[in-house]
């Protein structure tokens, strides 16, 4: 076993060697521009792009013509939301999204607010989920877009996209889902799931960084977008710029592998995820589960360890690369906006750890991770006056810390 152990698969994933092999020819002899129509170099590149389009479309139940390549999910999110706002803004100015979305969605929504759009930010429930009923209540006559993620990147909670999509379809509102964490991890079918637009990113599914795509429905309904990048009119005019052929070939291969191994890999990751939780909670008390037990990603486990400081915990478990909902690990001073939106409380947010289980995770790694977490939490709690009070049966919520009246 190699240390440190990578358990941050929601942040990014390593490139699968099979994906790398599929990319290499397009860095070497087959380096053509997919837009070059007059010679074999261009034709080879175009063929690689066409193959990738088919592989991606197959994984999500789309038609290859509905795939628009981008530099990743962030760009695809910008294109979907701004593209719809620009195209349908005369029809209505209201957009519905959620407080626990990825910053790419939230910041794009804020941008649109500055341009005169009105955005409803739904609060998720305490498990991180938005119900179709909550969406129904938020819809208005002038709503043009609902933007809700499929799987949350911090807690792994899945939204009921099929129901939300059906509701939007019925009400004539476009439905965009950020499926960056869902595609390749759970079954996704844009037809059955009633999706109009969907984004995905190669580096979250064992492909390269800097490439992704937006699925844009072509019929029932035909979604129209105003391009956000002007240039040569590539990608049916929706996204100009020379295509990243090696990256796109890698994304295609990454999708093909995910499709082939989906069921088996889901089962494997669920088993390892549950094993990790069991190994931690059987030896530690006061461990809090963040997320939804019923509707969740296979490879994501988010736990809080109250009475322990998040930063000390992260530093302590130095054999394991994970992320925390604590403030100190990110550029912002606030604890995770996702855990805040779920109203889990700052104490729990600050001591939360996201464990990501992925394609390369082994049982041995899970064992080692669990052992180190248990050891470090026990050690830190021995130093914690709060934890001592809890053991003595004092209800911390009743303590008057300031000593006043
Ligand atoms: C990683 C991620 C993004 C951003 O994707 P990039 O391709 O890195 O721009 C957006 N949404 C979610 C849910 C993510 O996990």
Residue 129 is classified by DSSP as -
* CB of 152 shorter than 6 A to ligand 1: no
Which residue from 374, 375, 313, 399 is spatially nearest to 348, judged by alpha carbons? 313
Q: For the segment 13-37, what is each residue's pLDDT rounded down to a tens digit?
A: 999 999 999 999 999 999 999 999 9
Q: Ligand 1, closest atom to CA 151?
A: 13
- Non-local CB neighbours of 151 within 8 Å, separated by 6+ positions: 157, 158, 159, 179, 181, 182, 185, 186, 296, 297, 300
Q: How far is the CA of 150 from the centre of ligand 1 (A)?
A: 12
* Residues linked to residue 143 through DSSP beta bridges, in sequence order: 94
pTM for the structure as a whole: 0.96
- Non-local CB neighbours of 179 within 8 Å, separated by 6+ positions: 60, 149, 150, 151, 188, 198, 199, 200
Q: How far is the CA of 29 from the centre of ligand 1 (A)?
A: 32
What would the two tokens of residue 80 be? 């979907």
Report the C-alpha dihedral over residues 243, 88, 123, 349, rounded to 10 degrees.
20
Q: How far is the CA of 376 from the centre of ligand 1 (A)?
A: 31
* CB of 177 shorter than 6 A to ligand 1: no
For ligand 1, atom 5, name the residue with the nearest CA.
73
* CB of 104 shorter than 6 A to ligand 1: yes
Q: How far is the CA of 201 from the centre of ligand 1 (A)?
A: 7
328 noted as active-site residue: yes
Q: For the segment 274-315, what is each residue's pLDDT rounded down to a tens digit?
A: 999 999 999 999 999 999 999 999 999 999 999 998 889 999
* Residues linked to residue 162 through DSSP beta bridges, in sequence order: none
* CB of 185 shorter than 6 A to ligand 1: no
* Residues linked to residue 81 through DSSP beta bridges, in sequence order: none
How many beta carbons lie within 10 A of that of residue 381, not counting itself? 20
Given this model, what pLDDT does residue 61 score? 98
For ligand 1, atom 3, name the residue with the nearest CA.
73
Q: How far is the CA of 39 from the centre of ligand 1 (A)?
A: 36
User: What is the Cα–Cα distance from 93 to 85, expressed in whole angstroms?
Assistant: 8
- Identify the structural domains of the chain with CATH numbers, from first to last: 5-9+262-390 (3.90.1150.10), 17-258 (3.40.640.10)
Q: 119: part of which helix (H) or strand (E)?
A: strand 118-122
What would the two tokens of residue 205 be? 């599914």
Q: How far is the CA of 375 from the centre of ligand 1 (A)?
A: 33
CA 348-351-352 angle, to 5 degrees, is 85
Given this model, what pLDDT does residue 325 score? 79
The proportion of the chain whose per-residue pLDDT surpasses 90, expressed as a percent, equals 89
Given this model, what pLDDT does residue 329 score? 46
Given this model, what pLDDT does residue 332 score? 55
Residues in the chain: 405
For ligand 1, atom 9, name the residue with the nearest CA.
74
At 101 the three-state DSSP class reads coil
* CB of 180 shorter than 6 A to ligand 1: yes
| Residue to mutate, 153, 205, 330, ligand 1, most ligand atoms under 8 Å from C-beta | 153
Q: Are 34 and 40 in contact (CB under 8 A)?
A: no
* CB of 178 shorter than 6 A to ligand 1: yes
Which residue from 273, 293, 291, 285 is spatially nearest to 381, judged by alpha carbons? 285
* CB of 326 shorter than 6 A to ligand 1: no
Give mean pLDDT in consecutive 10-residue pieces for the chain, a chain of 405 residues. 97 98 98 97 98 98 98 98 98 98 98 98 98 98 98 98 98 98 98 98 98 97 97 93 98 98 98 98 97 98 93 94 73 79 91 97 98 97 91 83 63
Which residue among the candidates 98, 199, 213, 328 is catalytic per the annotation?
328
Q: Ligand 1, closest atom to CA 201?
A: 7
Q: How far is the CA of 307 from the centre of ligand 1 (A)?
A: 31
For ligand 1, atom 10, name the residue with the nearest CA.
73
User: What is the Cα–Cα distance from 296 to 151, expressed in whole angstroms?
Assistant: 7
* CB of 201 shorter than 6 A to ligand 1: yes
Q: Please confirm whether the linkage preceding 128 is cis (ω < 30° from 0).
A: no
Which residue from 339, 349, 348 is spatially nearest to 157, judged by alpha carbons? 339
User: What is the Cα–Cα distance from 233 to 61, expressed in whole angstroms?
Assistant: 26
What would the two tokens of residue 74 be? 């962030």
């Amino acid at each position: 076993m190699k240390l440190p152990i990578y358990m941050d698969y929601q942040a990014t994933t390593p490139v699968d060697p099979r994906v790398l092999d599929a990319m290499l020819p397009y860095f070497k002899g087959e380096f053509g521009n997919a837009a070059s129509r007059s010679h074999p170099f261009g034709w080879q590149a175009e063929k690689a792009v066409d193959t990738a389009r088919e592989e991606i479309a197959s994984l999500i139940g789309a038609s290859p013509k509905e795939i628009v390549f981008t530099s990743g999910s962030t760009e695809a999110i910008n294109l979907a939301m701004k593209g719809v706002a620009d195209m349908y803004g005369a029809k209505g100015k209201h957009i519905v999204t959620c407080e626990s979305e990825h910053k790419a969605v939230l910041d794009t929504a804020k941008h649109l607010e500055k341009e005169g759009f009105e955005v409803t930010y739904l609060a998720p429930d305490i498990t991180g989920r938005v119900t179709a009923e909550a969406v129904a209540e938020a819809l208005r006559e002038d709503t043009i877009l609902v933007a809700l993620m499929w799987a949350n990147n911090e807690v792994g909670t899945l939204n009921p996209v099929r129901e939300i999509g059906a509701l939007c379809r019925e009400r004539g509102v476009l439905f965009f889902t950020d499926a960056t964490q869902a595609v390749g991890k759970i079954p996704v079918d844009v037809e059955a799931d009633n999706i109009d637009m969907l984004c995905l990113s190669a580096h979250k599914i064992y492909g390269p960084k800097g490439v992704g795509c937006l699925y844009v429905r072509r019929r029932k309904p035909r979604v129209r977008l105003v391009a956000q990048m002007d240039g040569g009119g590539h990608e049916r005019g929706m996204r100009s710029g020379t295509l990243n052929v090696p990256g796109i070939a890698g994304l295609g291969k990454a999708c093909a592998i995910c499709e082939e191994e989906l069921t088996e890999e889901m089962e494997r990751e669920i088993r390892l995820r549950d094993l990790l939780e069991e190994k931690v909670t059987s030896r530690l008390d006061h461990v809090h589960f963040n997320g939804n037990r019923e509707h969740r990603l296979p490879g994501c486990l988010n736990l809080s360890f109250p009475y322990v400081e998040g930063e000390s915990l992260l530093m302590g478990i130095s054999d394991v690369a994970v992320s925390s909902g604590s403030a100190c690990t990110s550029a912002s001073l606030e604890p995770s906006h996702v855990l805040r939106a779920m109203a889990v409380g700052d104490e729990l947010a600050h001591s939360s750890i996201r464990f990501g289980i992925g394609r390369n995770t082994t049982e041995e790694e899970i064992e080692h991770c669990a052992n180190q977490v248990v050891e470090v939490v026990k050690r830190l709690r021995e130093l914690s006056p709060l934890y001592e009070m809890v053991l003595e049966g004092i209800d911390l919520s009743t303590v008057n810390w300031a000593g006043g009246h």
